[in-house]
Amino acid sequence: MARKTPLAGVALMVAGSLVLSGCSSISGWWSETFGDASGPPEVKEEFPYVREGRIFQDTGQDAQMRFAVTGLERTDEYTVMYYEVTYLDDITGPNRNMSMAHTLVDPLTGRVYRQFLDENGLKYGSESPGEDGLYPVHDGVTNEYVRYYPRIPDEVEQVTFVGSGLGAMTGIPVQDVEEERPDPEDPNGADHLTPDDPPARGENLTFPNRRPDEDASADEGWVQSFVDSEIASTTRDGDREIISLHSDVMFEFDRDDLTPEAEEVVRRAATTLARNVDPDEPVITVIGHTDSLGSDSYNDDLSVRRAETVRDLLAEEIGPGHTLEVEGRGESEPVAREGGPDDEQARARNRRVEFSYVFDDAPRVSEEEEYDDDGLGVAQRNVTWPAPYDDDPGAVVAESEKDGIRLEVHPLRRDGAYVIGTVALTNITDGPLTPDVGGSEVVAGGPEQFSKGTLGGFQLFEPESGLVRYVAQMDLGEGRYSSFADEVHVLQPGNTYNLVAVFPAPPVDVESLTLRAGPFGEFEEIPVEY
């Protein structure tokens, strides 16, 4: 589903995306849910969209930077982004911004778009004056840039931009234009390569423009989300959804007959599947998995028998109109690493039965159902409108200090199918610190993909339902993932850094959540705002 998009394949990509977007009925959904007075926000074009803050540099010169999106234009071939960067502090020598790659995200569908690169990994658009990909930077001088992305589908009016190092910039409007802006007439970037040769006061740096050619390709993918409970978990990636029923409630050790509790869970899962499966592709694959104990052949056979048992009960409950298929994958696809200190929990995670299917992506009013009792609220999708642009993260609603680092928590903010968590980390010591914000609070045996790196130790917990929402990932295909969160690097003394982590959204009536902030502990009743 995620892939590299060559330039020649752009038109095909657009046609395919139109089928998957499913956005046409959102307006009615929103009105029925929130009333006419709370309809979709007006899409206003108020360029530039500006952020200021401190960013991580590979040299430790973590300067204050102003980042301004001055245009996001959709042509017949591309999406073209225009932006400006100004460093407000003294900065010397070659430096690299350590933020994630510049990325555009449709917050309604979870579609991800990255810039066109050549075969050497260099960006199209504004060309670097040197072969190292670096650009001249002068204190207080603004650099103007152009970058090219795959053409975003016509119905997408707003996107969220990440990658500046200054958090998620929501509600950036996509403007339709007949042709691109003209290239800089007299690009001057190569004339000011050293600190000793700054441009004249008030003069911006510009660079020659290189449009994508036959060697251009761009990463496209999907936001992959993970929601967990004691009974089940759901992984959503593109147009495919996998509901995993945990083994604790499914089978006794080395058995393939369901426990009484498991029978009830499968019956409730049937209701969820009937609601979620795409009616145009009503195929449900029941997949059995085992842990690593036992031989490969034995586990393969056991996983098939378990999947068949679940398939037979599901067929009774879900009724006609669905095609049920069975697969047994034995121990070949573990979601948790066995052999560690949490080995028993990891094996329990790996012994599971999954339902894999293409989900119905048409937004609709959430039905009045109880999810608290069965944990299958993990499969509930919750979509609101894209968040309008706002450069204010809101008031500090919780804070803590640990090992010389102060954490400040801002309100959660809804953005389409996701919520954005914003925190500030401040080094309150006299020396540089590298914070440990990994998965120290992750459920034992939890999937490693959502438990490590950047802010992997952060989770959102919904007390009433018991659901846990992990930091989302961007699935770029071929086993390549990127966390949907800012990277955390060395904190320089006295500096404050604003960071974001993005999670799958809770139901629209949830007004607050508990933030599990890794080593900083838990913070209850963090407000969820629109």
Residue 151, phi then psi, degrees to nearest 5: -65, 120
What is the per-residue pLDDT for 40? 67
Length of the chain: 530
Average pLDDT in the 329-352 region?
A: 76
- CA angle, 261 then 266 then 268, to 5°: 95
Range list of H helices, 319-389: 343-350
Specify the 3-state DSSP secondary structure of 288: strand
Any idea of the CA torsion for 37, 41, 43, 47, to the nearest 10 degrees?
120
- CA angle, 36 then 40 then 42, to 5°: 120
Specify the 3-state DSSP secondary structure of 99: coil
List the single range of 57-61, 164-168, 255-259 with lowest mean pLDDT.
Answer: 255-259
530 vs 245: CA distance, rounded Å: 32
What is the per-residue pLDDT for 23? 38
Conformation bin of residue 31: beta by default, left when phi > 0, alpha when psi is -120 to 50: alpha
Q: Which residue, among 350, 299, 355, has the nearest Cα to 328 in the 3D structure?
A: 299
Q: Which residue, among 501, 470, 477, 468, has the nearest Cα to 487 in the 3D structure?
A: 501
Per-residue pLDDT of 294-323, as tens digits, reads 888 998 999 999 999 999 999 999 988 999
What is the per-residue pLDDT for 440? 46
Q: Which residue, among 336, 353, 355, has the nearest Cα to 345 in the 3D structure?
A: 336
Buried/exposed code over 176-203 (b: 16+ C-beta within 10 A; e: otherwise): eeeebeeebeebebeebeeeeeebeeee
Residue 446 reports pLDDT greater than 60: no
- Sign of the CA dihedral 219, 206, 65, 432? positive
435 vs 519: CA distance, rounded Å: 9
102 vs 115: CA distance, rounded Å: 7
Alpha carbon distances (Å) from 495 to 60, 192, 406: 11, 30, 11
Any idea which fold 239-360 has? 60s Ribosomal Protein L30; Chain: A; (3.30.1330)
- Sign of the CA dihedral 332, 467, 399, 223? positive
What is the per-residue pLDDT for 32? 52
CB 400 within 8 A of CB 521: yes
Helix (H) or strand (E) holding 80: strand 78-87
Average pLDDT in the 406-410 region?
A: 97
Range list of H helices, 180-288: 260-276
CB 74 within 8 A of CB 151: yes
Q: Of the segments 152-161, 365-374, 480-489, which one has the largest average pLDDT value?
A: 152-161
User: Is the bond preceding 435 in cis, omega lying within 30 degrees of 0?
Assistant: no
List the single range of 13-17, 89-93, 372-376 with lowest mean pLDDT.
Answer: 13-17
pTM of the model: 0.86
Neighbours of 325 (CB within 10 A): 13
Cβ contacts of residue 100 below 8 Å, gap of 6+? 162, 163, 482, 483, 486, 487
Instruction: Choose between 509 and 23: higher pLDDT.
Output: 509
Name beta bridge partners: 323.
Answer: 283
CB 247 within 8 A of CB 310: no
Cβ contacts of residue 194 below 8 Å, gap of 6+? 136
Task: Kindly state the percentage of the chain with pLDDT values over 70.
Answer: 85
477 vs 234: CA distance, rounded Å: 19
CB 221 within 8 A of CB 101: no
Domain spans of the chain, in order of start: 49-218, 239-360, 398-527
Average pLDDT in the 196-221 region?
A: 93
419 vs 109: CA distance, rounded Å: 14
68 vs 49: CA distance, rounded Å: 5
Report the CATH number of the 398-527 domain. Answer: 2.60.40
List the single range of 16-30, 368-382, 440-454, 508-522 with lowest mean pLDDT.
Answer: 16-30
CB 152 within 8 A of CB 161: no
Which letter does DSSP use for residue 479 in this model? T
Residue 236 reports pLDDT greater than 60: yes
66 vs 37: CA distance, rounded Å: 36
Instruction: Choose between 271 and 39: higher pLDDT.
Output: 271
Q: Which residue, among 330, 346, 348, has the nearest Cα to 448 in the 3D structure?
A: 346
CB 460 within 8 A of CB 513: yes
List the single range of 88-92, 101-105, 397-401, 501-505 with lowest mean pLDDT.
Answer: 88-92
Cβ contacts of residue 50 below 8 Å, gap of 6+? 66, 67, 68, 69, 391
Neighbours of 434 (CB within 10 A): 11
End-to-end CA distance of the chain: 30
